[in-house]
Chains A and B, each alone.
Chain A
Amino acid sequence: EAGVAQSPRYKIIEKRQSVAFWCNPISGHATLYWYQQILGQGPKLLIQFQNNGVVDDSQLPKDRFSAERLKGVDSTLKIQPAKLEDSAVYLCASSLDGLAGDLGFFGPGTRLTVL
């Protein structure tokens, strides 16, 4: 089975520029997560979708970050405008609901460097 796909893998931008990341979850997975991982720290949950609805976005800095999941499949995460402290790896994960299947499969991440 294909895993979670993310693109791009790397992105370098200047501060105040905009950037977007794309995630394609595993087919049939209803739940999708976006995480931010700053170097040396554990991943921090930014937003959680169930199908195309937001379950939790309490940690998403909504003044500059936005995310959508149209049609309950692919998702994009946008930062506008970027700050230096946004330099991090952005991870996407998906999971299949259910007691046995709710494990969370992660993509390889997008490494963002803001100069």
Chain B
Amino acid sequence: DAKTTQPPSMDCAEGRAANLPCNHSTISGNEYVYWYRQIHSQGPQYIIHGLKNNETNEMASLIITEDRKSSTLILPHATLRDTAVYYCIVRVSPWSQGGKLIFGQGTELSVKP
């Protein structure tokens, strides 16, 4: 599974959009981009994933560049409850093709009032 690079920390004002970048320059054609977050003292929580098209769900939007070497997770209206560590993971899906959830260091997002 390809490696990812994320900034260690970011701040965002409450109510503003939080844009979390991720570089995955060695991503393969069959690897998906997944985002998880981990709120303090809880297990990681799935947010969104995509292959090459932009994706949106009730939690967030995922923008993947055309060359698929980077992506951005967007939380459109960040709240204090979005304060967490956000992990970007690239992997083959499903597991039967060798995909694993391998976590890096993530980005610690602090949403401030």
Chain A interface residues toward B at CB < 8 A: 4, 31, 33, 35, 41-45, 48, 50, 55-56, 91, 93, 95, 97-99, 101-109
Interface readout for B83-109 with A: 1 if CB under 8 Å, 0 if not? 001010000011110011111111000
Chain B interface residues toward A at CB < 8 A: 34, 36, 42-46, 49, 85, 87, 93-96, 99-106
Contact of B45 among A33, A56, A95, A106 (CB under 8 A): A106
A-B contact count (CB 8 A): 57
CA gap between A73 and B2 in the complex, in Å: 30
Q: Cβ of A95: which chain B residues have Cβ within 8 Å of it?
A: 95
CA gap between A4 and B46 in the complex, in Å: 13
Q: Please tell me if the beta carbons of B95 and A45 are within 8 angstroms of each other in the complex.
A: no
Cβ of B4 to closest chain A Cβ, rounded Å: 11
Cβ of A105 to closest chain B Cβ, rounded Å: 7
Q: Cβ of B104: which chain A residues have Cβ within 8 Å of it?
A: 42
Q: Please tell me if the beta carbons of B46 and A105 are within 8 angstroms of each other in the complex.
A: yes
If A31-B95, A50-B95, A93-B43 touch, whether A104 touches B105 (CB-CB below 8 Å) is no
CA gap between A43 and B101 in the complex, in Å: 9
Q: Cβ of B99: which chain A residues have Cβ within 8 Å of it?
A: 102
The 4 A-B residue pairs with the shortest CB-CB distance in the complex, in nearest-first order: A106-B43, A42-B103, A102-B94, A103-B46
**Can you list 27 contacts pairing A with B, beta carbon distance less than 8 Å?**
A31-B95, A35-B103, A42-B87, A42-B103, A42-B104, A42-B106, A43-B103, A44-B103, A45-B100, A45-B103, A48-B95, A50-B96, A55-B95, A56-B100, A91-B44, A93-B44, A95-B95, A99-B93, A99-B94, A101-B94, A102-B93, A102-B95, A102-B99, A104-B44, A104-B46, A108-B42, A108-B43
